[in-house]
Structure 1
Amino acid sequence: MKGARRLFAALAGVVLVAGCAAVPEESQPVAVQQQELGQASNPDVQQPARDLDALTVARDFVRANAQPISNNAAARTYLDDNAAKAWQPGKVMNVIDDQFNTVYAAGADVPANPNEVVVVVRGTNIGMLNPDSSFLPSRSPYELRLLVRKQSDGQWRISNPPADIVMPYSDFTANYVQVPVQFFAQDSNTTVPDLRYVAAKPQTGLPARVISLLLSGPSDQLVGAVRNPLPEDANVEGNVTTTPDGALLVPLTGVGDQTPEVKKLIAAQIVLSLQAVTTNRVRLLSDGAPLVDGHEDWYYTDVPSYSSQASPGADLPGLMTVNGRIRSLADGAAIAGPAGAGVYQVVSAAQSIDGRQLAIVENADGRQQLRVGAYGGTPQQVNLFGGTLTRPTWRPTATADGTAGEVWTVVDGQAVVRVLRTSDGGWTGQAVNAEEVLTVGPISALRLSRDGARAAMVVNGQLLVASVVRTQDSVTLRGPRILQMGSLTGVVDVDWLSQDSLVAVTSMPSQPVVKVPIDGLRMDTFNSSNLTPPVYAVTAAPGRPIVVADTSGLWTASDVGEVWRPHTSSVSSHVTPFYPG
């Protein structure tokens, strides 16, 4: 049943557009016009123009692959009759850069039949859409050989379509809608977004495709890192449809035996997930009755906040380390306690999301060591030393007394350690399994997401994201993904702008500050005006201005297009800003 639902989810999300200029011998790279995500192409299937040359047929076929409607009907128009009937494209879809070549094969690859040619499609694979409808970034050469045969009516058609669909980036974003499907953190009621992509057309079927993804569970990347309150045998009874009175009806079955608390979580994840594809009120039924007693119809505003724990409070303005001391980011004043008074030579620090705990890395006796304790108090020395320790990062969940009880750091770029508060108030370190990450290289920065499900890292100057998978006996960083491989290099620091997007700073003058979604589908470069490279530190948080540090001080901006403004507490000394988390 579960596998069947996953198959339905994959089949529910595939589409393409046609069109390209004819080139007699070779088509040079052409940039396809960018379209915003969710602006779908016309779904009407039209036959190709007559007398297209074989190169244009191949090129238009690649673009038409992005239209999954009617069993890839648009792409099948470029196939000969036998291929059109037999083609069963696989569940994986390759996304290539908008600039790609189509050229005629030469030499031994030239068919003997004068009515046949081999067209070679060459481009750069930037990732793939997995069967679970999540995007997996990559960077590698892509090549496809298509046998194009002249038909009896004189038209060129493809006879060997590929097993896996391929489409340019712009056609993918024009024909697919990004949906943050919501699940929950393993040990709290904090929602965790799982970025998935569903076919934009037909628009009336969008909600059903989102519900299908929810029922199929989290993407492979997040399995073990989140929990799904929807039980294994949950399903929909009939169709997800719009009722005559304008409500979106979701008729669930298999959830009737859940507790009232779990039913409220199910309602929340459904309504929050559907927010990306509908403005209708949502009618949630369980075996014909309201899923939540006394609450049949739901608006987005009816759902309480399940992400507040993943964002620092407005009363916590952030901090910064300056000349070995910790100061307020709001007014530059030294914080209370020894960390602000200069008792320690502070290298870096992290404040817990609730603001009550502070972890610092200090230089002492020729090495770096960790201290952890109450904010404003005297932090305890932890038995954790090394040549270097990365800036600490707090796990969001709290211990029995309501204070944060787990902080992470990386020792000498190789050992990821989580430091836990013990029952007697002390702190002890435990190793995190980071073998998959370390195959890429040493870790120079690590930031846990404020929902605790993921970790963003800087590894060999590259930006990585991995899921945090917890079992009773271990914690593992699993499935690391390099974001914008080949395009984003020289990364020196990173922080979480939101639960599904990152801000990174680099040593590259052309892109000192960038914004990247957690699946790496795209990258937006911030305005570099007023910055003095190199930029070496960044902090970000939901609803907060981004703060970066360069050779002249601190700068702040809230959006990609903004000009950087001097921070009110900017200092000329080497300074590292940080928001709680």
Structure 2
Amino acid sequence: MRRQRRMPAVVLSLFLCVLTVAGCASIPMESQPKAIPQRNAGQPTQEIPEPELGLDPLTVVRNFVRNSAQPANDHAASRAYLSGRMRESWKPDPSLRVVKEEFSTVYAPESEQPDDPNERVVALRAVEVGRLAPDRSFIAGLEEYRKPVRVRRQPDGEWRIVDPPDSIVITESDFNDAYFQVPVYFFAPDSTALVSDLRYVVARPQSGLPSRVVDLLLSGPSDGLAGAVRNPLGDSAALDSNVTTGNDGALVVPLTGLGDEAVQERELMAAQVVRSLQHVTTSRVKLLSDGTPLVPGQAEWRPSDLPAYDTLSSPNAELPGLMTVNGRVRSLGSGSPIDGPAGSGALDVVSAAQAINGHQLAVVESIGDEVRLRIGDYGAPGQLVDLSGSRMTRPTWKPPVSKDDKSTEVWTVVDGEQVTRVQQDADGQWVTVPVNASELTDAGWISALRLSRDGSRAALVAGGKLVVASVVRTASGATLRAPRVLQEDRLSSVVDVDWIDHDTLVATTSSERVPVARVSVDGFQFDQYNTSNLTPPMRAVTAAPGRPIVVADSSGLWTAAEVGAVWVPHSHTSADAEPFYPG
């Protein structure tokens, strides 16, 4: 089940919070981008009990893995299963391997066992589902994990590990308990659309969560989003002192190193901090820059004090969505054909996409033995773009720079290989520009592509798998970078995908076992939708913030608001309909 982001239940006093934040600094798994004076002052010492007596080598290795769920004091709970000397010298790499729940510890073959009867080699075997990178982002990746672990009988007769794994190994459920998922926020490169970057911090103690989240934010975007987002806080931002709770209950975030930025830029910085903290505190946030309010005239903030940055990446509630039915575009709200050639039947529409503000429409139409792309204002004929092929993925729009602007960019994939963006030039003409998708060369046939509604990422269906990549834009063009396959073992026959929100996808498959699933953008969280009333294989899906999911199966359209809800027929269902919300 999808893990809910937990909220601290109480606000501790200033004294306890300072002690807790200080104690957290001893955990090397935390991002510590800036040195804070006296960070370790008053650090409490946590006593870790010795393992129970008489454990056999297999149990010693198994308990070593299980105790990785306790990261406190440099994983002292796991170190208890190492030999005395190794307890001091073991330095696991900064990443963390997350494995499936069922892992095995078995004796290695006799040919691999030492001659010394006081030593045994235990084979640790697991299926790795991903790793927690040094930047605290989860990187999905399915592979076998095998590690020989040497165990030696100590002078007191107890077995202890003398050759431990190079990395911390932790099961999915233990990781879910020990680490807290939190989005930290940046901005789209050319607009004020917020972009969330999922990261993970040590969950306990809860009172230290705000400090750990601020540390992550100040460390900048994760490697997977590098180059795809803008960071108003910049590289020089740091904490002037510890994050604390004031006598009035406000959370004090004392920043330094911000320079002489304009008020508008400082307001974006405030949004980054306040939105990143909203999942871990209900307190007011007092933002300071070198001892004075970060934004002149407003020292304290709540999320409700921020401008509605999400309006750029969320369709207007007055836009009900559209669907293609038998070569025409119709309204999802009324079922009626839309105005213009796309709805009248003048065009043989294969697929279409409405801009997020509703003002424009991109249409893939069938002309003879090929398909062509047509782009223009909603209800107008539009321009026939110089782009053709035997197949094109449903178009997807880059969001506009501001709410009242029109979008100037559409993406599609031609014949499963050629990722193409179509841009509007200075004369208003739509021209094609290839996208650098070299990192996707081995991914397979691309049958679907959806830009996130903030424009920073792309979700693709490639070779029947769900793939997410960042969109890096430079003066020379756009590149799909750092592609990652999500939930490869559960989603092996994906047919369509869409964005529920900043960091969540919904995918449909041709499988009867998992026809519809919700997946976090990093691939760690996975939830299967109810299968009641659906008739696989699925054909299409659409989603948007605050909207019900609409899917198309072999019989028509179905909607559901929640993962566990029973699918109900759409009010304007049709056997050939394919739905799409703006974006």
Could you tell me which of 397, 410, 414 is aligned with 2:413? 410
In the TM superposition, residue 488 of structure 1 has moved relative to its aligned partner by: 0.9
Could you tell me which of 24, 43, 59 is aligned with 1:56? 59
The within-5 A match list for 1:492-507 is 492-507=495-510
Query: In 2 relative to 1, CA 9–139 (structure 1 residues): closer, same or farther, beyond 3 Å?
Result: farther
**2:243 counterpart residue number:** 240
Following superposition, which runs of at least 4 residues in structure 1 exceed 6 angstroms of deviation? none
The within-5 A match list for 1:106-255 is 106-255=109-258
**1:576 counterpart residue number:** 578
**2:324 counterpart residue number:** 321
In the TM superposition, residue 368 of structure 1 has moved relative to its aligned partner by: 0.3
**1:66 counterpart residue number:** 69
Distance 2:475 2:414 in 1: 24
Distance 1:481 1:222 in 2: 12
Query: In 2 relative to 1, CA 9–353 (structure 1 residues): closer, same or farther, beyond 3 Å?
Result: farther
Distance 2:30 2:173 in 1: 16
In the TM superposition, residue 231 of structure 1 has moved relative to its aligned partner by: 2.3
| SS of the residue 1:11 aligns to | coil
Could you tell me which of 255, 260, 263 is aligned with 2:263? 260
**2:18 counterpart residue number:** none
Instruction: Give the TM-score normalised by the residue count of structure 1.
Output: 0.92
Distance 2:154 2:47 in 1: 24
**Contact 2:27 2:71 (C-alpha < 8 Å) held by counterparts:** no
Query: In 2 relative to 1, CA 400–515 (structure 1 residues): closer, same or farther, beyond 3 Å?
Result: closer
Distance 1:141 1:354 in 2: 46
**1:420 counterpart residue number:** 423
1:74-124 CA-partner distances (Å, limit 9, x unpaired): 111111100001111111111000101110112221121212111111010
Distance 2:285 2:66 in 1: 35
Distance 1:10 1:52 in 2: 28
| SS of the residue 2:563 aligns to | coil
In the TM superposition, residue 277 of structure 1 has moved relative to its aligned partner by: 1.6
Further displaced range: 457-466 or 292-301? 292-301
Query: In 2 relative to 1, CA 465–537 (structure 1 residues): closer, same or farther, beyond 3 Å?
Result: same
In the TM superposition, residue 44 of structure 1 has moved relative to its aligned partner by: 6.5
In the TM superposition, residue 534 of structure 1 has moved relative to its aligned partner by: 1.1
Amino acid of the residue matched to residue 147 of structure 1? R
Further displaced range: 521-530 or 47-56? 47-56
**1:280 counterpart residue number:** 283
Distance 2:221 2:580 in 1: 31
The within-5 A match list for 1:394-543 is 394-398=397-401, 402-543=405-546
**2:366 counterpart residue number:** 363
Instruction: Give the TM-score normalised by the residue count of structure 2.
Output: 0.91
In the TM superposition, residue 552 of structure 1 has moved relative to its aligned partner by: 0.9
Query: In 2 relative to 1, CA 258–209 (structure 1 residues): closer, same or farther, beyond 3 Å?
Result: same
Query: In 2 relative to 1, CA 446–9 (structure 1 residues): closer, same or farther, beyond 3 Å?
Result: farther
**Residue 559 of structure 2 corresponds to residue 556 of structure 1:** yes
Distance 2:115 2:251 in 1: 58
| SS of the residue 2:296 aligns to | coil
CA RMSD of aligned residues (A): 1.5
In the TM superposition, residue 422 of structure 1 has moved relative to its aligned partner by: 2.1
**1:308 counterpart residue number:** 311
Further displaced range: 339-348 or 66-75? 66-75
Query: In 2 relative to 1, CA 44–522 (structure 1 residues): closer, same or farther, beyond 3 Å?
Result: farther
Distance 1:291 1:265 in 2: 11
**1:18 counterpart residue number:** none
In the TM superposition, residue 438 of structure 1 has moved relative to its aligned partner by: 2.5
In the TM superposition, residue 156 of structure 1 has moved relative to its aligned partner by: 1.4
Could you tell me which of 383, 387, 396 is aligned with 2:386? 383
In the TM superposition, residue 250 of structure 1 has moved relative to its aligned partner by: 0.8
| SS of the residue 2:283 aligns to | coil
Distance 1:328 1:46 in 2: 65
Could you tell me which of 1, 23, 28 is aligned with 1:11? 28
The answer for unaligned runs of 5 or more in structure 2 is 1-24, 32-45
Distance 1:347 1:287 in 2: 58
Distance 1:200 1:178 in 2: 9
In the TM superposition, residue 399 of structure 1 has moved relative to its aligned partner by: 8.3
Query: In 2 relative to 1, CA 442–9 (structure 1 residues): closer, same or farther, beyond 3 Å?
Result: farther
1:333-370 CA-partner distances (Å, limit 9, x unpaired): 00001110000110000000010000000110210000
The within-5 A match list for 1:290-309 is 290-309=293-312
In the TM superposition, residue 570 of structure 1 has moved relative to its aligned partner by: 0.6
Query: In 2 relative to 1, CA 409–488 (structure 1 residues): closer, same or farther, beyond 3 Å?
Result: same
Further displaced range: 315-324 or 113-122? 113-122
In the TM superposition, residue 10 of structure 1 has moved relative to its aligned partner by: 8.8
Query: In 2 relative to 1, CA 215–9 (structure 1 residues): closer, same or farther, beyond 3 Å?
Result: farther
**Residue 50 of structure 2 corresponds to residue 47 of structure 1:** yes
Could you tell me which of 327, 331, 336 is aligned with 2:334? 331
Amino acid of the residue matched to residue 327 of structure 2? G
In the TM superposition, residue 416 of structure 1 has moved relative to its aligned partner by: 0.9
Distance 2:416 2:546 in 1: 31
Distance 1:528 1:445 in 2: 23
| SS of the residue 1:465 aligns to | strand
Report the number of matched residues. Answer: 545
In the TM superposition, residue 576 of structure 1 has moved relative to its aligned partner by: 0.7
In the TM superposition, residue 507 of structure 1 has moved relative to its aligned partner by: 0.3
Amino acid of the residue matched to residue 11 of structure 1? P
Could you tell me which of 98, 103, 125 is aligned with 1:100? 103
**Residue 102 of structure 2 corresponds to residue 85 of structure 1:** no
In the TM superposition, residue 256 of structure 1 has moved relative to its aligned partner by: 4.2
1:474-507 CA-partner distances (Å, limit 9, x unpaired): 1000010000112211100000011101001000
In the TM superposition, residue 9 of structure 1 has moved relative to its aligned partner by: 12
Distance 1:275 1:546 in 2: 26
The answer for unaligned runs of 5 or more in structure 1 is 1-7, 15-42
Further displaced range: 267-276 or 238-247? 238-247
Amino acid of the residue matched to residue 375 of structure 1? Y
Further displaced range: 240-249 or 388-397? 240-249
| SS of the residue 1:224 aligns to | coil
Distance 1:551 1:400 in 2: 37
Amino acid of the residue matched to residue 480 of structure 2? L
In the TM superposition, residue 12 of structure 1 has moved relative to its aligned partner by: 4.6
**Contact 1:406 1:421 (C-alpha < 8 Å) held by counterparts:** yes
